Amino acid sequence: MDTGCLSSMNITGASQARSFAGQLPPQRCFASSHYTSFAVKKLVSRNKGRRSHRRHPALQVVCKDFPRPPLESTINYLEAGQLSSFFRNSERPSKPLQVVVAGAGLAGLSTAEYLADAGHKPILLEARDVLGGKVAAWKDEDGDWYETGLHIFFGAYPNIQNLFGELRIEDRLQWKEHSMIFAMPNKPGEFSRFDFPETLPAPINGIWAILRNNEMLTWPEKVKFAIGLLPAMVGGQPYVEAQDGLTVSEWMKKQV
């Protein structure tokens, strides 16, 4: 089931893995979950001090709010819940282990959470003063938000959605219509949009979005994209798992 996309969620400074949920800043809404105030700030800084001969369009909220889909009734979500409940319901260890978890990104935070659920004592190490790893966010001295990665969570991510539910932070997510918006590197101030229609099932809606976009991709690029994507669409999850032995660069070279 295609369940649309989400706006960004911040994970900021907290001292313990089990308390990070309460440290989240209030919800916010960007014009797109694919470009940030950091990108906008760089654009403004680059143009500052010189007269622009071209008027850039004003940034607007372009992704409409989307009702939260009934994820709890999906098979993937139920399976994710059963898997995580194993840790809580397992027999308590007679000698809890002290386990060092290196890195407080989503993987490290969730690992520490489930280790604690299983009765062990995780020690979470993070070199930076901000939690979250690739989804970390913080404010600079001017009050602008900085993001280090893509802040988007799809409804088809059952494990992370289940974790958010267990931590009771699912209300911190702002559901948006399924559109992907990218800043165009060669056209400052302009953005290209991929719309995934609700009336088409995944991954057909993705093909439609790619074919309809003419700003970011040329037709030869669309054909190459389709050729690389076709095996995954036909093979499904078994194909994806069969690529585990490849690095990203190795897989991409196979598509050339």
What CA–CA distance (Å, rounded) separates 246 from 127?
Answer: 29
Provide the domain limits for residue 181: 5-217
Measured in degrees and rounded to the nearest 5, phi and psi for residue 25 equal: -75, 170
Q: What is residue 90's DSSP assignment?
A: S
What CA–CA distance (Å, rounded) separates 251 from 185?
Answer: 25
193 in a structural domain: yes
| CA distance readout (Å), 151 to 125, 133, 146, 185 | 22, 11, 11, 20
* Whether the predicted pLDDT of 12 surpasses 50: no
3-state helix, strand, coil in the chain (%, to 5): 40, 15, 45
Please tell me whether the overall predicted TM-score, pTM, comes out greater than 0.85 for this model: no
The predicted-structure confidence for 163-220, as pLDDT tens digits, reads as follows 888 888 888 888 877 788 888 888 888 888 888 888 888 778 888 888 888 888 889 8
56 in a structural domain: yes
224 in a structural domain: no
Pairing assessment for the beta strands 191-195 and 98-102 based on DSSP bridges: unpaired
249 in a structural domain: no
64 in a structural domain: yes
The total number of structural domains that make up the chain: 1
231 in a structural domain: no
The predicted-structure confidence for 86-124, as pLDDT tens digits, reads as follows 988 989 999 999 999 999 999 999 999 999 999 999 999
177 in a structural domain: yes
Q: What pLDDT does 113 receive?
A: 92
| CA distance readout (Å), 186 to 74, 123, 182, 215, 232 | 41, 45, 12, 11, 30
- Over residues 1-11, the mean pLDDT reads 40
240 in a structural domain: no
Could you tell me the two tokens for 83? 């898997």
What CA–CA distance (Å, rounded) separates 18 from 111?
Answer: 11
Q: What pLDDT does 62 receive?
A: 52
What CA–CA distance (Å, rounded) separates 6 from 180?
Answer: 10
The predicted-structure confidence for 13-63, as pLDDT tens digits, reads as follows 333 333 333 333 333 333 333 333 333 333 333 334 443 444 444 444 455
